[in-house]
Structure 1
């Protein structure tokens, strides 16, 4: 939900070219179980919505989505190397409604926005919707989320205040995420109070950041709530959550000059809401209470600086 993404960061992101896989070793599908939600609701092509799909996608028969599969249970790689989770299920179902197929392309988070801008793929699946990012991208918001700080289970405190209690500590984050800016803000508060600054360490994916806590190379990892809560719940002997805050929605990102495709995809997602498939997927992946069934556009807040 995964840094302060103003114009400066977008410029920096444009230099990122790597699109390598970033599966989280601690998010192995071997230990991830989706809920049994009863009889599966079948998804079929909707002729009216399929007619909304721009001709180039109809001819191609597919669209491509870049995804960083390291935020279980929203998006992660299972023990067989397959990308699974809420958003892959959601986009695959939407593609069926649209009468085309979905191609998922693994990528590092900080390369997703520039890759979308350069049209290497059609969709970013998915990132935090913030006003700074809306300057470049339109977002279909499908899930409310937030930010959380994870530490080792033997960390000195069970609850902390970031602007006060992170001073002098080593805190990891995934490069290009909202947490980069939040850590910077906390560090400035520490310095203003006459304390040591926060020692921030950026990583390419949440697997590496999580490993830094596990190996005691970092005191904490500040990341998106779904992944933080999932790992703390899965391994309470290793990790715990010491801070949590709701900050904004996850959105499926699409270039602003691709509005016809955006509208077709949103119509397909709303069809999934209508048929009950969206709720079934929300329940399957344990995201009850975080649903955004109206699929609004660009509702994210401004990033804290």
Structure 2
């Protein structure tokens, strides 16, 4: 959703990584997506029964009784979460959630929403958690608007489960001379709204202006596929997204003929499962489940399956982002 976040940054930390083999079938859909904030996914992650789950007693009683954790997610961000050729929710997050469900004895039911509504959905109790390639940052933890610096909500807690950096990619064969973010001055970037990539683009636009260089024009969209469609139509020069998403698009879109990555990853940060501040019992149960699947090897199998082992963690933290 890149590393998705609303935090402001002052310096990029380069993180080098090779593009892993992404064992995913099907091509990335490059059509614009409408508002799906009320769409419920037809499938849920299957799990073992509560009685067979070693961590079931850590869950809040209300969730144990329901047997379901409702997950808000922008299901248009392959390979983290997307709809497969059968219309089912697939990807890194659903697989990790399914493995966690075996530990907790519940089903994780993914419900589709636009990314910028997920935190509000937690506040209104539409969802129990948000799991959508969302970067764990101090601003999100504290409910701070990254643009204004003002407090706009209660904030959320995060259970960290993965690490990803941010990548730039262009139409194949047309890199536009872009190797670093400083090469973006005078270009047009298409980006998903309210993501970390969007934030970095705003920072770079300000830097271009400060340095007296040509302006970086930013066009923001509700979903990453919309941003890619804009670039494919030559309306933008470059797209920015989390490295796993950029790598997936480069490998799969147009049979691997549409896009190419330019430059190196920057700003590696943790993905976190977002939980309301007042739901500490659920938060702690989720952390225990993430750590359990790391320890028992299920987590390793999942990240290797999707070709993203470079972003694997060995310890799940609460609010480990900065």
| TM-score, structure 2 as length reference | 0.78
Match of 1:199 among 196, 207, 217: 217
Report if aligned partners of 1:5, 1:176 keep a CA contact under 8 Å in 2.
no
Is 2:275 the partner of 1:254? yes
For residues 131-146 of structure 1, the aligned pairs below 5 Å read: 131-135=138-142, 136-146=155-165
| Unaligned ranges ≥5, structure 2 | 9-23, 29-46, 143-154
Is 2:182 the partner of 1:176? no
Q: 1:30: which partner in 2? A: 26
Q: 1:60: which partner in 2? A: 66
Q: Secondary structure at the match of 2:26?
A: helix
For residues 124-163 of structure 1, the aligned pairs below 5 Å read: 124-126=130-132, 127-135=134-142, 136-157=155-176, 159-163=178-182
Can you list the C-alpha shifts for 1:226-245, whole angstroms capped at 9, x where unaligned?
11111112344321111321
**Inter-partner Cα distance in structure 2 for 1:228 and 1:219:** 15
Q: How many residues align?
A: 270
| Unaligned ranges ≥5, structure 1 | 7-27, 33-41
Q: 1:231: which partner in 2? A: 249
Query: Cα gap change, 1:44/1:203 in structure 2, threshold over 3 Å: closer, same or farther?
Result: same
Q: 1:23: which partner in 2? A: none
Q: 1:270: which partner in 2? A: 291
Can you list the C-alpha shifts for 1:104-138, whole angstroms capped at 9, x where unaligned?
10111111111112211011113111111111111
**Inter-partner Cα distance in structure 2 for 1:58 and 1:239:** 45
Q: 2:14: which partner in 1? A: none
Is 2:236 the partner of 1:218? yes
Query: Cα gap change, 1:80/1:298 in structure 2, threshold over 3 Å: closer, same or farther?
Result: same
Query: Cα gap change, 1:75/1:47 in structure 2, threshold over 3 Å: closer, same or farther?
Result: closer
Report if aligned partners of 2:48, 2:105 keep a CA contact under 8 Å in 1.
no
Structure 1 runs of 4+ with >6 Å offset: none
**Inter-partner Cα distance in structure 1 for 2:304 and 2:48:** 17
Match of 2:84 among 68, 72, 78: 78
Query: Cα gap change, 1:168/1:178 in structure 2, threshold over 3 Å: closer, same or farther?
Result: same
Query: Cα gap change, 1:242/1:47 in structure 2, threshold over 3 Å: closer, same or farther?
Result: closer
**Inter-partner Cα distance in structure 1 for 2:199 and 2:169:** 17
**Inter-partner Cα distance in structure 2 for 1:58 and 1:216:** 50
| TM-score, structure 1 as length reference | 0.82
Q: CA deviation at 1:157?
A: 4.3
Q: CA deviation at 1:168?
A: 2.1
Q: CA deviation at 1:158?
A: 5.8
